[in-house]
Amino acid sequence: MSACVDHIIIAVNDLEAATRDYALMLGRDPSWQGSHPEYGSANTLFKLDNTYLELLAAKGAGWAGDRVTQHIADKGQGLMGLVFGVEETAPFLAQARQAGLEVSDPLAGHGLDLAEAEKRSWQNMVWPETAARGIFSFAIRHDDPNALKPAPIVGSGPCTGVDHVVVQTSNTQASKDFYGSQLGIRLALEQSRPDWGGDMLFFRTNHMSIEVI
The per-residue pLDDT for range 86-99, each reduced to its tens digit, is 999 999 999 999 99
- SS3 state of residue 187: strand
Residue 155: the pLDDT is: 82
Contacts by 15-24, CB closer than 8 A, 24 or more apart: 15/42, 15/43, 15/44, 15/55, 15/57, 15/59, 18/44, 18/55, 18/57, 18/77, 19/44, 19/55, 22/46, 22/53, 22/55, 23/154
Residue 168: the pLDDT is: 93
What single DSSP character describes residue 28?
B
CA atoms 121, 127, 206, 86: torsion sign:
negative
Residue 1: the pLDDT is: 64
Mean pLDDT by 10 residues, the chain (213 residues): 93 98 97 94 97 96 94 96 97 97 97 90 96 94 95 94 95 95 97 87 96 95
Residue 45: the pLDDT is: 98
Residue 194: the pLDDT is: 87
What pTM was estimated for this model as a whole? 0.95
Residue 115: the pLDDT is: 83
CA distance linking residue 40 with residue 186, whole number of Å = 35
Residue 60: the pLDDT is: 87
